[in-house]
Structure 1
Amino acid sequence: MTARVPPAPLTQKFLDTIKPGAKQVDYPDGFLRGLALRSSPGGALTWVLVKRLPEGVRRIVLGRYTGQAQQAAPVDRSHFPAGYQSLSLKQAREEAARVLAMIAEGRSPAKEKELAKHVRAVDSALGSFRDLLHDYVTFREAGSEKRAAAGERQIKEWNRIIALLDNQAGAILDMPARDVEPAHIVALLRPIFHHGTARPTSGRGSGGRRSVDGAQGAADKVQTFLRAAFAHGLSSEHSVARKTARRYGLVHNPAAPVPREAKSTPGTRALSAAELRQFWWSIDQVAKVGPVMAGLLRFTIASGGQRAHQLAREPWASYDTQNHVLSLVDRKGRGGMKRVHLVPMTSRMVGILKSVHLHSGQNKWPWSTSTRAPIDIASPASAVRYFLKSEHAFIDGVPIAPFTPRDLRRTCAQIMQAAGIPDIEADRLQSHGVAGVTGTHYRNNPELYLPEKKRALDKFDEVLGKILIGKSNT
């Protein structure tokens, strides 16, 4: 009986000569037992591994052969098949050896193939970086039990940032969110930090011009947005309450290691008594500053430095001139949850409201020049700039140093400090209230703080009155 001659190892030269025939033919590889190249009549060349398994002899398809290796990226070697689009002779031997090792470990190629198919399906459904950003904006727009819905202006700004990043580096936003690394976040922020970005053509901060020498503050804001979006993706990945079924498979927050590097420039500007007096009596004489805006700025001061944007968004119904109480909605703080902030009103404040009523009484809001909406929150800052450019911004021929509406709030705080008003009462008046669990669950009745707020405001109004008639330079 003639001994069976083992097949010779396959060579590249031999593989190049294979032509399709009338029947299917397997060409075994003598180098690795069980490996063969199958030639089909239609011309397809396929690597197979013939192996006896508990369920019988099986021909395990490893992949195609096209003469050149075409590797998918990335290749997953934890399952079968590994993810190659085609296998060269060398890769076929490596893949066959790997599959044989899996079988020796008791793992079934059929089950591994099914698992790999499932993993690929899940991976193909993973959301992109762009999807994650839009999902976060949608989440913030709707709000939640723990976090108030973001305002229209904030939503618009976030969408502007997404459009900016898409235009700047759309390829990064196309990436699966799971694959984004800190280096990609840096690549998005670096051009903004060093070279700046074009400002919006309308609304707050508009001007349509490009920042000079970079925009460090803008880069920090974008970093904060990206970090929040990934944090949302990590925390909500398995939430059944989510409206979208899209998954991201995030394992870390790539924006977290990237530091915020803009230099902090906290404001310290406070107006002197002479500057405050000059501003109060002349703001309504400045070109481009109407009586409603002048009234709002005066009311901001008279109220002890309330935030102008909070005053502007409240309707007439919030200004109770009979009981001398103003009801504001404070959304400041983490989460932006609504909190009622009651402010007592002095006769000076009521007088300002009565004069403004002649101009905006027909509108829903006191601080409005139309029936459609209150004034834009950027308008007070513009009015102050108009004042500083006018002939009224001088004292004894010396120009008044620049300031902003926020500096008016700081000025009021310092007036209260100089008048001996306790810090806790001044903080209450300016809505620096009790924070945390204590303020939320126990000391949460705003009416209980009205007496101390009124005490602080009455003392402040007394000093303000002296400043405005030139009897105090405190």
Structure 2
Amino acid sequence: MRDNNKVNFTAGRVSAHCCEAGKAASFLWDEDTKGLGLKASPGGSKRYVLESRLESGSTVRLTIGDPKSRTIEDVRKEARRLQTLIDKGIDPRQEKRDRLAAADAKRAQADAARQEAENRQRYTLRTLCEAYGDLLEARGKPSARQARSIFKVHVLEAHPEIAAMPAREVSKLQIAAMVRRTRESGKERAAGVLRSYLSAAFAAAKKSPLDASLPADFIPFEIEHNPVDAIPAIAVRAGSRKLCADELRAYLAALGDDLPDQALLLALLAGGQRMAQLLRARVSDYDEDTASLRLWDTKGRRKAPREHLLPLAPKAAELAARLVARAKLLETTFLFSTHGAVPLDETTPGKRVAAICNAMGGERFDLRDIRRTCETILASMGISRDTRAQLLSHGLSGVQNAHYDMHSYTSEKRAALVAWEERLHEIEVGQRGARNVVSLHTA
């Protein structure tokens, strides 16, 4: 049958070939090329095919292409190629599958290489630092600003080549080099904070695949180990600086009517409160009926800030009431705001303390030293450790305080603050052996 339909394929014969009436298909075979045929279907469609016998003895028919898109010479060349494979004992169908699989594998490899290159550029130490800053900010942690600043100065600017590396490839030696450089520049505390924030950032990325409380944005960093674990923590040196009566008098005398000075004064009158917490206070946080100021303590690993209530003594309450009135005139919700739009920058009071310290001369001191001075005097007055802890909001994250001790300590704190203002007044008038007069102005 095939021999009766063998012709030399030409464009005219290919175009003229059609399916005979009543048949499912009609074939025309090429005299020039073994097994090459033209299949015509009832609907008018045509396909070049190759019919041959495999080594196993089974017949195979392969579609080569459409006459509209392939020339006769092209299909003859392809038919000979396929027949050569069959003659070698290779099934062209399997060869095609293998060829397509190889092409797919090559494309997948190229895609993977492209994705890897993109990941290397995207998931760097720089972006890990940014992601951790975003996490702190999303959780309402005031430390987000400090973390971003530490990363900017001691990672991004000091080590741009390491910051540009994929985070998962940053080694413990490179982390150690960053911490060492910061420490050797005389910034030991900054070095310790840098190590702490880097460790926390890597830890978050490492835990993120299994910890649903962490953003999925950390997962693509593919952190499997924390390189900071091998770096020894830098212990914070316990400070011992305390202001004497002369220094306390001079410090208070230097405080004026400007908003940063008023913040410093209220922090002192309230027993030595943390400035960052005080500056976040809003007008709604002060209750004039009870003369109580509510602060929010976000320190530590607590997921929600802890309410820190301060029942103020008369001088501090008077100052707080004036600050509330000032805020209402500015139409701001913040107790401490220069223009009403945002709270006072928490670094401003610290800079003011530094300026006062420079003007006073002598041994340097900062806000931590003033806070230490307050607690030292409170201890000397017989205020218990537990009451001081409640008053200054430190050491309150343990199991006992979190789950069992629900006492508010309001009366103890109020008595301590009243006694504190009285003690400052005694220093002012020179009682109890106080060497100097301290002016407790609340302008």
- The TM tier, using the shorter chain, reads 0.5 to 0.7
SS in structure 2 at match of 1:371:
coil
Correspondences of 1:274-293 after superposition (within 5 Å): 274-280=246-252, 282-284=253-255, 289-293=256-260
Letter in 2 for 1:419: M
Q: Could you say which residue in structure 2 is the equivalent of 1:160?
A: 152
Does the C-alpha gap of structure 1 residues 376 and 113 become closer, same or farther in structure 2, counting only changes over 3 Å? closer
8 Å CA contact 1:433, 1:439 repeated in 2: no
Point out where structure 2 has 5 or more consecutive residues left out of the alignment.
Answer: 1-88, 435-443
Match of 2:365 among 403, 411, 415: 403
Matches within 5 A, 1:38-117: none
Secondary structure of 1:247's counterpart equals helix
Report the Cα distance in structure 1 between the residues aligned to 2:395 and 2:236, rounded to whole angstroms.
24
Q: Report what 1:429 is aligned to.
A: 391
Superposition map of 1:161-240 within 5 A: 161=153, 165-194=155-184, 196=185, 214-239=186-211
Give the paired residue count: 340
* CA displacement at 1:405 relative to structure 2: 2.3
**Match of 2:217, SS?**
coil
Amino acid at match of 1:375: L
Q: Does 1:324 align with 2:291?
A: yes
Q: Distance in 2 between matches of 1:373 and 1:119?
A: 47
Counterparts of 1:418 and 1:245 in 2: how far apart (Å)? 49
Counterparts in 2 of 1:426 and 1:171: CA distance versus 1, 3 Å: closer
Is 1:468 the counterpart of 2:435? The answer is no
Q: Aligned to 2:309, what secondary structure does the other structure show?
A: strand
CA RMSD of aligned residues (A): 4.0
Stretches of 4+ aligned residues off by more than 6 angstroms: 56-59, 109-122
Out of 227, 230, 254, which is 2:227 matched to? 254
For residues 301 and 167 of structure 1, the distance between their equivalents in structure 2, rounded to whole angstroms, comes to 37
CA 1:250–1:119 in structure 2 vs 1: closer, same or farther (change >3 Å)?
A: farther
Distance 1:401 1:310 in 2: 27
Q: Check whether the contact 1:125–1:247 (CA below 8 A) recurs between aligned residues.
A: no
Task: Name the TM-score, length of structure 2 as normaliser.
Answer: 0.64
Amino acid in the other structure paired with 2:397 = A
Structure 1 residues 125 and 258 mapped into 2: Cα distance closer, same or farther (>3 Å)? same
* Structural mapping, 1:372-383, within 5 Å: 372-383=341-352
Is the alpha carbon distance of 1:443 and 1:118 closer, same or farther for their aligned partners in structure 2, counting shifts above 3 Å?
Answer: farther
Secondary structure at 2:341 match in 1: coil
2:209–2:216 contact (8 Å) kept in structure 1: no
Cα shift at 1:277? 3.1
Residues 1:418 and 2:380 are matched in the alignment? yes
Whose Rg is larger?
Answer: 2
Which AA in structure 2 matches 1:457? L
- The corresponding residue for 1:106 is none
Determine helix, strand or coil for the equivalent of 1:362.
Answer: helix
Extract unaligned runs of 5+ from structure 1: 1-51, 62-108, 197-213, 394-398
Amino acid at match of 2:238: P
The aligned counterpart of 2:131 is: 135
Given candidates 276, 281, 295, the residue that maps to 2:262 is 295
Q: Distance in 2 between matches of 1:434 and 1:417?
A: 18
1 CA distance for matches of 2:351 and 2:210? Answer: 46
Change (3 A) 1:220 1:372: same
Alpha-carbon separation, structure 2, partners of 1:115 and 1:292:
63
Kept in 2: contact 1:128–1:176 (CA 8 A)? yes
Q: Any conservation in 1 of the 2:288–2:321 contact (CA below 8 Å)?
A: no
Please state if 1:453 is matched with 2:426: no
Aligned residue number for residue 307 of structure 2: 340
* Conservation of the 8 A alpha-carbon contact between 1:237 and 1:248: no
Q: Tell me how far 1:117 sits from its aligned partner.
A: 8.6
- SS in structure 1 of the partner of residue 238 of structure 2: coil
Q: Residue 115 and residue 292 in structure 1: after superposition, are their counterparts in 2 closer, same or farther (change >3 A)? A: closer
Residues in 2 aligned to 1:316 and 1:355: alpha-carbon distance in whole angstroms = 11
CA–CA separation in structure 2 for the residues paired with 1:291 and 1:169 = 39
Which residue pairs with 2:45 in the alignment? none
Question: Counterpart of 1:349 in 2: which secondary structure?
Answer: helix
Shift of 1:333: 1.9
Measure the CA separation in 2 of the matches of 1:464 and 1:135: 46
Task: Say if 1:264 and 1:429 are closer, same or farther in 2 by CA, change over 3 A.
Answer: closer
| Aligned match of 1:370 | 339
In the aligned structure 2, how far is the partner of 1:267 from the partner of 1:294? 24
Deviation of residue 320 (structure 1)? 1.8
Give the drift of 1:269. 1.5
What is the Cα deviation at residue 121 of structure 1? 8.2
* Higher helix content, 1 or 2: 2
The 1:290/1:382 distance shift into structure 2, 3 A limit, reads farther
Alignment partners' CA distance in 2, 1:151 and 1:427: 21
Looking at structure 2, the residues matched to 190 and 151 of structure 1 have their Cα atoms a distance apart, in angstroms, of: 22
In the alignment, the residues of structure 2 paired with residue 181 and residue 160 of structure 1 have an alpha-carbon distance, to the nearest angstrom, of 19
Contact 1:331 1:338 (8 Å CA) reproduced = yes
> Residue 122 of structure 1: CA displacement?
7.8
Q: Residue by residue, what CA displacement relative to the aligned partner does 1:13-63 show, whole Å, maximum 9, x if unpaired?
A: xxxxxxxxxxxxxxxxxxxxxxxxxxxxxxxxxxxxxxx99xx9989x9xx
Q: What SS class does the counterpart of residue 339 from structure 2 fall into?
A: coil
Checking the alignment, whether the CA contact within 8 Å between 1:304 and 1:457 is kept in structure 2 is yes
TM-score (norm 1): 0.60
Percent of residue pairs bearing the same amino acid type: 27
CA 1:270–1:243 in structure 2 vs 1: closer, same or farther (change >3 Å)?
same
C-alpha distance in structure 2 between counterparts of 1:355 and 1:130, whole Å: 45
1:175-217 Cα distance to aligned partner (Å, 9 max, x none): 33333221232344444444x4xxxxxxxxxxxxxxxxx5343
Cα distance change on mapping 1:301 and 1:233 into 2, 3 Å:
same
Partner of 1:32: none
Contact 1:192 1:215 in 2 (8 A): yes
